[in-house]
Amino acid sequence: MAKRQARFTPQELEDDPRLKDHSPTLWSEAEFGEVGRRLLSSAVRCFAANGFHATTTRDISGGVGLSPAALYVHFPSKELVLYEIIRVGHERALAHVRESEAEAAAEGATGSATGTSDRLRLMMRRYTAWHARHHVAARVCQYELNGLTPEHYEEIRELRRRTNEVFREVVARGVADGSFARVDVNRVVRGMLSLGIDLVRWYRLDGTDSPDELGEFYADLALKMVTGTGTTDTAPDGRSGRTGTSGNGSARGNGRKARGSSVPATG
């Protein structure tokens, strides 16, 4: 949702249908406790609507009816709240994608079709649907990275690299075995991840497409990226001959501002 100069109040955020999603299910009570979970749910709405830097601890605590000081009982700093949101989001998204590989392997063991195209379709469908169901947390994961400390940013960058690599391995495998055209693997993976991520800017659960429907549509688009007739300057192992970043959070640049860019991939 677009930000405005005047900040949204906690009451406005709680009632805003654009901020209704499954993000509160991401934080477990076992890890954060009931109050910690409620604070994270309030914080993710505040960060998504107003941005990390414009959000105060009073906003976060007020969203669950607590005093500003109550936040520090559960989180030493506002930055740590942001870190936990982004960490958990990235970890859950990565686990969800990896489950698709495990599911494909299980189908292979039973004799079901598990070609490279099937694996990519399943992976893209799950990745997209996850971001649609958790679009509020995913928006924070993508657009508030510059609020992290350098140490926390590096941890998240590694999670993003792992997500990129899961997709890259499948696409490179398809190029190698002839299932896919000889595409520029890095460029195509960036495009796929960007598709699954960009929806967090506009998606809402009460819209026309369900998460699964959107996942199916984007899975079709992903397959079209790798089954076209065009060719690119691609090395035998599927790696592009071009230099530069591989798209997964590596475009940090020369300053911290680059960390706020929507660089695939997430949560």
Amino acid 255: pLDDT: 38
Backbone Cα Rg of the chain = 19
Specify whether 158 is located in the same domain as 232.
yes
From the list 54, 55, 137, the residue with the least C-alpha distance to 93 is 137
Q: Are residues 85 and 23 in the same domain?
A: no
Task: Give residue-wise pLDDT tens across range 8-40.
Answer: 776 677 778 889 999 999 999 899 999 999 999
Average pLDDT, integer, range 71-90: 96
- Residue 104: its pLDDT value, please? 66
Residue in the structure block whose two tokens are 């926390």: 152
pLDDT of residue 47: 96
Domain tally, the chain: 2
Q: Which stretch of 44-48, 104-108, 122-126, 211-215 has the lowest confidence by average pLDDT? A: 104-108
Contact in structure between 195 and 128 (CB atoms under 8 Å): yes
For the segment 155-165, what is each residue's pLDDT rounded down to a tens digit? 999 999 999 99
Q: Would you give the end-to-end CA distance of the chain in angstroms?
A: 17
- Answer whether residue 167 shows pLDDT above 80: yes
pLDDT over 60 (residue 232) = no
Of the three residues 74, 91, 118, the one that is the final residue of a domain is: 74
Residues 49 and 104 in one domain: no
| Residue 40 sits in the same domain as residue 124 | no
Q: Could you tell me if residue 3 is inside a domain?
A: no
Query: Is the distance from CB of 119 to CB of 100 less than 8 angstroms?
Result: yes
Assess whether 95 and 167 both reside in one domain.
Answer: yes
The 10s digit of each residue's pLDDT in 120-159 is: 999 999 999 999 999 999 999 999 999 999 999 999 999 9
Angstrom distance (rounded) from CA 194 to CA 164: 11
pLDDT at residue 238 greater than cutoff 80: no
Look up the domain containing 138 and give its range. 80-260
Same domain for 118 and 246? yes
Determine the 3-state secondary structure of 24 from DSSP. helix
Please indicate, yes or no, whether residues 137 and 26 belong to a single structural domain of this protein: no
225, part of any domain = yes
- One domain for residues 63 and 90: no
95 lies in the same domain as 200: yes
pLDDT for the residue numbered 105: 63
- Same structural domain for residues 108 and 239? yes
Please state, as a whole number, how many other Cβ atoms lie within 10 Å of the Cβ of residue 66. Answer: 18
Task: From 30, 55, 74, give the residue that closes a domain.
Answer: 74
